[in-house]
Amino acid sequence: MTIRTRFAPSPTGYLHVGGLRTALFNYLFARKNNGVFVLRIEDTDQSRFVEGAAEKLMESLRWAGLEYDEGPDRPGDFGPYVQSQRLELYQKHVQQLIDQDDAYLCFCTSEELEAMREKQIAAGQPPRYDGTWRDRSPNEVQDMLAAGKPYVVRMKMPLEGETSFEDLVRGTVSFQNDLIDDQVIQKSDGFPTYHLANVVDDHYMQISHVIRGEEWLPSVPKHLQLYRYFGWEAPQMAHLSLLLNKDRSKLSKRQGDVAVEDYRDKGYLPEALVNFVALLGWSPGSEEEFFDLKQLEDLFTLERVNKAGAVFDLDKLNWMNGNYIRKMAEEDLVAFLTPFLAEGGADISDEATTRNIIKAVYKGVEKGRDTPRAAAIFLQNEVEITEEAALAYLKDPQAPTVLAAFLEKAREVDTLDDAAFKDIMKSIQKEHGIKGPALWKPVRVAITGAESGPELPLVIEVFGRDKVISVVEKVVARYL
């Protein structure tokens, strides 16, 4: 049997990081088993359709490196891969269920359904459809059709017993049938609901494994019932835990970014985001935390997927992304961070200067948008010193001597490059007997405004002699 998995998002906006994890696990499972990874766009809910959303979803998957084998823009043998283009197939199967007496037309109005719901809640019962039209006579149905009354089609769920299945993550899962109402499988606009279209497509696209979020777990008995009615074999299923905030609440936009596009735009690398997301609910079986996509393909198994909720720790993502940034080749690093530097107002017209700024600050960058903050000293003409520790170095009794000597010697050279700077510092040390932090820290603070940060030679190379002298003079005048 060929392993075939699918990622089937609705084109309602952006790709949620939870959706990225679902897509990733489907991708990894297919690759690990020499299978096929399918992208299917589930757009049967036309009321939630967002123009251009499907294209953005595909773009985000490509950005993350998750190349699907079949999809809307990659034809295969089981297309089309957009549900709104498969309506005839769904309608055929809805009619089959009606003909088998496994589904029926329901003419309840929205007002009747709301009254039904309110009555049940008042009686302390869980709100659900009560089967009003389940066993109506053909004549009643024909009268409503003749009168042009709108209707939906509902499938008949068993009224007793239970539905059980083996989840590849959760083990045996059971549902009481009498607690599940007759699900709508075709809406009044003629479009199928998720449940019907999902089952039909998974069958005809020969999906062997359905790997999706646990929010779809309550839908499983309805889907299994449809497989029984059609006489089809159901795929194996695995339901992934929710992604959680640190307070264990469900990850939502109210508490931070949830769209893959947001992380991309803020300067997270796709390799870092994919690595981080892979570890949300899955364990490699070792203490190692850094994996490229190929390593994940080799290591991934559903057996190591945890059924407990996974906390989306932004601090860890930042740490991981910073590690990836620091490992980038210089050319890639400069290409990646330059747009963010420009975003912060830097003049990037001089490639050499831009490169030196990036080389000076990248070790303090966790994501692209940190670059202007890390490079703040290069974007201002005057140093603002606010850190108590930095100010303390300027209050050292030897600081005035060090800075006066530094200015004197800096004015004497034509070019203040790395070699000249080191010569000046050695000269001050020799002449005044000052060394260690008492020598270096006042100069660093006067030039950068902080006690630590970019390597001083790189800062000085970007600034040039005149700006270094100007900045230090202003610090001496203001703080000493």
**92, 149, 253, 430: the active-site residue:** 253
Would strands 4-7 and 36-39 be described as parallel, antiparallel, or unpaired? parallel
**Residue 244 contacts residue 280 (beta carbons within 8 Å):** no
CA pair distance 41, 85, nearest whole angstrom? 10
Reading phi first (left if > 0) and then psi (alpha if -120 to 50, else beta), residue 51 is in beta
**Residue 200 contacts residue 89 (beta carbons within 8 Å):** yes
Would strands 162-167 and 171-176 be described as parallel, antiparallel, or unpaired? antiparallel
Quick one: three-class SS letters along 372-394?
HHHCHHHCCCCCCCCCHHHHHHH
CA pair distance 44, 87, nearest whole angstrom? 9
CA pair distance 315, 321, nearest whole angstrom? 10
The DSSP line for 386-422 is --HHHHHHHTSTTHHHHHHHHHHHHHH-S---HHHHH
Helices 194-204 and 87-99 cross at an angle (nearest 10°) of: 100
The single residue listed with the structure tokens 């089952």 is 199
List beta partners, residue 400.
none
253 is catalytic: yes
Cβ atoms < 10 Å from Cβ of 287: 5
Number of helical (H) and strand (E) elements in the chain, helices listed first: 19, 11
Q: Buried b / exposed e across 145-174, counting CB within 10 Å, b at 16+?
A: eeeeeebbbbbbbeeeeebebebbbbeebe
Q: Mind telling me the catalytic residues?
A: 253
